[in-house]
Amino acid sequence: MNVIVVGCGKVGYTLAETLCSENHDVTVIDTNEDKIERISNNLDVVGVRGNGASYRVLQEAGVEDCDVLIACTSQDEVNMLCCLIARKAGKCRTIARVRDPNYYSEIGFIQEELGLSLCINPELAAASACYQLLRTPSAMELDDFAKGQVEMITFDLPKDSPWLDKKLMDITRENRFSFLAAIVLRDHKALIPNGNTVLTKGDRISVMLPTRNATKILSHAGIPYRPIRKVMIAAGGNVGYYLAKKLGEDRIDVTIIEPIRRRCEELNDLLPQASIIHGDACNERLLVEEHIDEMDAFVALTGNDSENIMMGLFANRYCPGKLITRVNKVTIGEVIQELPLGSIVSPKELTAEKILSYVRAINNRDPSNTMDAVYRLAGDQVESLAFTVHTASPVTGKRLMDLPIRPDILVCAIIRKNAVTIPTGQDMIQPGDQVVIVTNRRGIRSLNDILK
């Protein structure tokens, strides 16, 4: 597919990198010549210098032959105008990054009037990811499917876990509720396990299960449940605002530490239920004075990775509860995996996942099924994908054990008429089902690709 990305900032670069890895033809547009030169040197893209809201520049970038245009500059108005002009000039699908809460509250009207195919708010996506993690605080990562009916929960096995040194098939037999171990991360290497896989000390495990069983499975693995009642948020930008609003609706006590006085005044008006503290969250003395040791969770959400990492390391010493750290620069991911920073949330990666899911869905020429979601897991080594089955195909009507499924693919869940099944070899996929798979194979676009 021909894809144009307008804006070569952090999000734009990540998107271009992801789309290139999927073998799409990518053209990038930016007004900054240095950014164009950098991305052109590092990635297999065509760079065009100019204003993406200019009809002439879009023509130069090939908008008339474009399949999808993604506008992700730092200015919402420019993004929406880019999409409007591209829609008129090239009749392509358009995706806009819209961050301002005022615009996003009217996003339905804006999307319809501008003919936008998709609107992305990285900050809202990051806040939603943080909120999910706070709902299940023992999870290191959490992704949901089928409108929240099924979850993939990732957690570290405690050193005294009753699961240690046991085969997965034996652990499954001991439980009265269904779940499936989908990924085992061991020594930074992701394994797609089977029933004979033995769990060992230091393993990080991802399990697929009905959402209602999340607390039960964590308890069975030896992880105590600690409810979240008090949360401290470092930085009151858009992510902090969205998260505090969600937590306030659940009547959770929220303290926000924000260094800009004017923003503090705005937050006082926007979030009357929250405590807004003017100060620098990198100041250890301030965090102690604001009782970080009494918090059930600490969330570092500044736009500066170094500050977030330093705050996360400090919070790990003093905060007894959940720790979430925002990290924007994905290239340092392998380094920070060794640090006690709790759950890592990246707005860029969340945005890339959502757009990748959309691009793969429209690139899927198979009418028997459509792709609903893509999540990248285990340090980007594994993907979890969700499909909706529309008509009969090679994967339907046969027991899973009778299908020639590739060895690096695991069928993790089947949702049929709102009933969740964690499948065994005896189960079948039928038209109308939603199916979730896990794989370390890249580029899967259709559910039929799971077959040899």
| Interval 298-302 mean pLDDT | 96
pLDDT value of position 404: 96
- Same topology, domains 2-120 and 352-450? Answer is no
Confidence band for 335, pLDDT divided at 50, 70 and 90: low
**Domain boundaries 2-120, corresponding CATH code:** 3.40.50.720
The pLDDT of residue 333 is above 60: no
Given this model, what pLDDT does residue 359 score? 86
Q: Which residues contact 276 (CB under 8 A, 6 or more apart)?
A: 236, 256, 258, 264, 267, 268
Q: Is the pLDDT assigned to residue 176 strictly greater than 80?
A: no
pLDDT score of 283: 92
For residues 386 and 384, give the distance between their C-alpha atoms in angstroms, rounded to a whole number.
7
Average predicted confidence (pLDDT) for the chain: 91
| Percent of the residues in the chain that have a pLDDT greater than 90, as a whole number | 64
Which residues lie below 8 Å from residue 174, measured CB to CB, with a gap of 6+? 220
Rounded-to-10 torsion of CA 343, 348, 353, 355: 160
Confidence of residue 185 (pLDDT cuts 50, 70, 90): very high
Q: How far apart are CA 302 and CA 280, in angstroms?
A: 11
Architecture of domain 230-320: 3-Layer(aba) Sandwich (3.40)
pLDDT score, position 174: 82
Predicted confidence at residue 226, as pLDDT, reads: 83
Going from N- to C-terminal start, the domains of the chain cover 2-120, 230-320, 352-450
- Does residue 332 have a pLDDT over 60? no
Q: Please say if the pLDDT value at position 7 is more than 80.
A: yes
What CATH number does the domain located at 352-450 have? 3.30.70.1450
The DSSP code sequence of 360-387 is HHHH---TTEEEEEEEEETTTTEEEEEE
What integer pLDDT is reported at residue 443 of this predicted model?
Answer: 74
For 19-43, the pLDDT digits (tens) are 998 889 999 999 999 999 999 999 9
Average pLDDT over residues 284-313: 94
Could you tell me the pTM of the whole model?
0.87
DSSP designation for 294: G
Q: Which residues pair with 451 in a beta bridge?
A: 405
* 83-100: burial string, b at 16+ Cβ within 10 Å, e else: bbbbbeebebbbbbbbbe
> Which range (74-83, 359-368, 395-404) has the least confidence?
359-368
How much of the chain exceeds pLDDT 70, in percent?
98
Q: What does the pLDDT look like over 243-278, one tens digit per residue? A: 999 999 999 999 999 999 999 999 999 999 999 999
The predicted pLDDT at position 212 comes to 85
Instruction: Please name which of 366, 369, 367, 347 lies closest in space to residue 301, comparing C-alpha atoms.
Output: 347
More confident residue, 444 or 307: 307
d(CA 226, CA 56) in angstroms, rounded, equals 57
- pLDDT of amino acid 331: 54
d(CA 263, CA 269): 10
Question: Confidence band (pLDDT; 50, 70, 90) for 418?
Answer: confident
